[in-house]
Structure 1
Amino acid sequence: MTYKSDFYVFDAEKPVPVTIRNYTKADFDELIGIQSECFPPPFPSELWWNKEQLTNHTELFPEGALCIDVDGELAGSLTGLIVDFDPLHPNHSWEEITDNGYIRNHNPEGNTLYIVDISVRPKFRKLGLGKLMMQAMYQVVIQLGLDRLLGGGRMPGYHKAAEVMSAEEYLQKLIAGEKKDPVITFLLRCGRTPMAIVENYLEDKESLNYGVLMEWKNPFKQ
């Protein structure tokens, strides 16, 4: 199943053509470049995408390898895999559920499209491209008849509040609109809802290693 959608976004009052499509081998160098812009030093460069990972994305689950072009320039990507997920046993780490980004555990018979990564070039972030790619992946969930889209969100603002509140209390303040967090608030705006807080989800000092599992349920599978 090939995905391709052409439409416009607005940069201030100017319509700008964009395309969401599956990424291919021809995009690999640019995708690695986008990672370097999104995660600059001191973030370790060995944690950016490598070509073996990207090859696995395009060969094992091409439907879950999406990118977005803005006026012909590659501006971002969103990557997923299918897993068999049990909501009654939600605990896992990013590394184990995504095979550290190599997705060799992709299960075509699974029930959940799991988000591995989303990246948008900083200069394009005002255009809402992340939300548009997420909506495109919801369409993939529906097309494949899966139960949900799921992924773990960092809480990069939590370290500033950890002395006075638990991770659960911090999340509840985000949901109540009393606080904002650059990742969780973005995912809420994309239509995702919190399922569970997971300890030791990802090595991340800002989040104190917590992750919030954020779900979007297939409305045709309720």
Structure 2
Amino acid sequence: MYRKEFYVFDHDRPVSAVIRNYKEADFPGLIHIQQESFPPPFPSELWWNKEQLHNHVTLFPEGALCIEVNGEIAGSMTGLLVDFDPEHPEHTWEEITDNGYIRNHNPNGNTLYVVDISVRPSYRKLGLGKWLLLSMYNVVIQKGLERLLGGGRMPGYHKKANEMTPEQYLEAVVKGELKDPVITFLLRCGRTPVKVVANYLEDEESCNYGVLMEWKNPFYTSISKQGE
């Protein structure tokens, strides 16, 4: 199981933090994080429920991570394993995550797929989201997977939807001409765009678009050769 103790910084002040696997006792706190992280117009029915969280810790506990700051849960990240074919990348969030229930988790999958990442707004200045992603990269390496993959929201797109296509918006963000709260964050964390997907998730701010973004395991080739 995963546990990492370290310090994050509130300006120049070190603050104790722990990333670990979440468990049943954490469920109320995890649901509260969802409510704070994804307020309306984000659909409340997409917040975690206890059945989904139970599946996370039962079917793939390695992909169920949370972060504590001074003993208080401040964020979480959830994943499952899928067998991803880059030649056929189209999917919706609901399809690939089983609507967040991950009953389709494939222990023999080649890709760790990000179901969700969320950090309470009052803690976002501490860089916790990046630490969660880095920790999930560790899981990818430890399990010898090809990549981490997930669909990023593009919540800034609704402001530009009348001026440009989603692909043009993504290109402008990658070039640094525009800044998107989610896509720019994922770029900072080492993720690279794969494809814009229409109707990825019911999300008014993103006009229902998502951007598939991956992080390739830099050790995957050597790991594969060792197994041959």
Sequence identity of aligned pairs in percent? 73
* Partner residue, 2:143: 144
Alignment deviations for residues 103-144 of structure 1 (CA, whole Å, 9 cap, x no partner): 000000010000000110111000000000000000000000
Given the superposition, is the C-alpha separation of residues 200 and 41 from structure 1 closer, same or farther in structure 2, using an over 3 Å criterion?
A: closer
Alignment deviations for residues 165-211 of structure 1 (CA, whole Å, 9 cap, x no partner): 11111111111100000010000001000011111111112211111
* Partner residue, 1:54: 53
Tell me how far apart the structure 1 counterparts of residues 78 and 127 of structure 2 sit (CA, whole Å): 17
Counterpart AA for 1:220 = F
Tell me how far apart the structure 1 counterparts of residues 203 and 122 of structure 2 sit (CA, whole Å): 24
* Partner residue, 1:30: 29
8 Å CA contact 2:41–2:204 kept in 1: the answer is no
Q: Give structure 1 stretches of 5+ with no counterpart.
A: none
Query: Does the residue aligned with 2:136 lie in a helix, a strand or coil?
Result: helix
TM-score between the two structures when normalised by the length of structure 2: 0.95
Q: State whether structure 2 residue 42 is matched by structure 1 residue 13.
A: no
* Partner residue, 1:154: 153
* Partner residue, 1:130: 129
* Partner residue, 2:226: none
For 1:141-220, list aligned pairs within 5 A.
141-220=140-219
* Partner residue, 1:87: 86
Counterpart AA for 1:109 = N
**Shift in Å at residue 74 of structure 1?**
0.5
Q: Give structure 2 stretches of 5+ with no counterpart.
A: 222-228
* Partner residue, 1:45: 44
Tell me how far apart the structure 2 counterparts of residues 74 and 206 of structure 1 sit (CA, whole Å): 27
Tell me how far apart the structure 2 counterparts of residues 46 and 208 of structure 1 sit (CA, whole Å): 18
Tell me how far apart the structure 2 counterparts of residues 122 and 23 of structure 1 sit (CA, whole Å): 20
Alignment deviations for residues 89-110 of structure 1 (CA, whole Å, 9 cap, x no partner): 0000000000000000000001
* Partner residue, 2:100: 101
Given the superposition, is the C-alpha separation of residues 105 and 147 from structure 1 closer, same or farther in structure 2, using an over 3 Å criterion?
A: same
**Shift in Å at residue 43 of structure 1?**
3.9
Query: Does the residue aligned with 1:17 lie in a helix, a strand or coil?
Result: strand
Tell me how far apart the structure 1 counterparts of residues 220 and 40 of structure 2 sit (CA, whole Å): 43
**Shift in Å at residue 160 of structure 1?**
1.4
Tell me how far apart the structure 1 counterparts of residues 137 and 107 of structure 2 sit (CA, whole Å): 17
Given the superposition, is the C-alpha separation of residues 137 and 24 from structure 1 closer, same or farther in structure 2, using an over 3 Å criterion?
A: same
8 Å CA contact 2:197–2:212 kept in 1: the answer is yes
Q: How many residues align?
A: 221
TM-score between the two structures when normalised by the length of structure 1: 0.97
Tell me how far apart the structure 2 counterparts of residues 88 and 195 of structure 1 sit (CA, whole Å): 11
Counterpart AA for 2:204 = K
* Cα RMSD, aligned residues only: 1.0
Query: Does the residue aligned with 1:100 lie in a helix, a strand or coil?
Result: coil
Tell me how far apart the structure 2 counterparts of residues 46 and 192 of structure 1 sit (CA, whole Å): 28
